[in-house]
Amino acid sequence: MSIKNINGYISTHLTIPVSLQWKDDHANLNAMIDSGASGCFIDQTLVSILRIPFITKQHSVALQLLDGSPLKTGPITKETIPLSVSIGTQHKESFSFDIVSSPAFPLIFGLPWLRKNNPYIDWERGTLTLNLPKQKTSIDIPYNTSSTAIAATTLPEIYEEYSDVFQSTGTDTLPPHRVYDCPIDLYPGSPIQFGRVYPLSEPELKVLKEYIDENLTKGFIRPSTSTAGAPIFFVGKKDGGLRSCIDYRALNNVTIKNKYPLPLITELMDRLKDAKYFTKLDLKGAYNLVRIKSGHEWKTAFRSRYGHYEYLVMPYGLCNAPATFQRFLNDIFREILDVYVIIYLDDILIFSSSLSEHQDHVTSVLKKLREQIVR
């Protein structure tokens, strides 16, 4: 097991509570007020999880960072549909947000919003006042002017004791069987349809051969004589590479669904409203940390130009994989879940109200990861 990255930051910006609404859904968030931002932005991951509708911008927008360098993720090409934005009980407006991959805050109100509303900020009282046609709305805002936001790109020295948790070697070995192994229970009498092999281009065949060789070496797959066989294909990644996908639709159609719930994003966000310190951990090769239940491996079989194979670890594409993995992590962190940790699939967010408290919380999480997952 390893952690793909550790990203911690201190929330010290001026923020206000807002409610976003679209169609028949809504979310309550804290929005950062940033006069240095040339637009209004929303986190791409948040858009995906909340399923906020979006469209392609007529003209892409190239952003520059404070040092003049371009945004690493490239120009902004997507924006949300106009969302209903409520602030307090009396102020409501419609606004579209540019979608950015990972802003320092999930929601940012920049210059366009500030120019439109021209709010008055009382720094001494800690209030933001919006002028309405017939009255004024005053909104209390939490802020801290004594610190600045920090993004950690290397492991902080205080956590060096747990450097083994961040090593990639753990993701290259077959995990042990646990009570969390993923079963694939089928409806009685339901055969798995045998899928035809999809034609692949020369670059795709090259990546396919590398993928098979790599996973055979790791022990994640093995040659199969299964009566099942899903086709494999590839989709493009943002960096221009190719991502493998197994078409498990036929298998999923006859699989009894795992009803374990995924957390509601709105509830997760509510847990963070009083926190000032955050650390985000992304688990590398997350689903591959879980084994397929012994005897069920044959059901994961896939066919390709280079042979017939089946998984020993949980692959992406199985209908019960998200629920299985959520249960796995929730059980590991059950004692501290919603106390100072929230989890959505392979994303772990640690939150605290003070720095010293936060360091203890992060250490506690790393210790649990080492005890329960690191191999």
Catalytic residue numbers, as ranges: 34
- Residue 186 is encoded by which pair of tokens? 């089928």
Q: Tell me how far CA of residue 60 lies from CA of 66, 68, 74, 106, in angstroms.
A: 20, 18, 10, 21
Nearest to 44 by CA among 67, 77, 1, 20: 77
Sorted by sequence, the CB contacts under 8 Å of residue 331 that are 6+ apart come out as 180
- Residue 325 is encoded by which pair of tokens? 């993995």
- Residue 220 is encoded by which pair of tokens? 């994640």
- Bridge partners of 21, per DSSP, are 26, 84
Contact 252, 186 (CB under 8 A): no
Q: Tell me how far CA of residue 292 lies from CA of 13, 214, 288, 318, in angstroms.
A: 45, 19, 9, 11
Cα gap 22→25, rounded to integer Å: 6
Nearest to 222 by CA among 316, 315, 314, 312: 312
Distance of CA 192 to the CA centre of its chain: 31
Sorted by sequence, the CB contacts under 8 Å of residue 22 that are 6+ apart come out as 52, 53, 80, 81, 83, 84
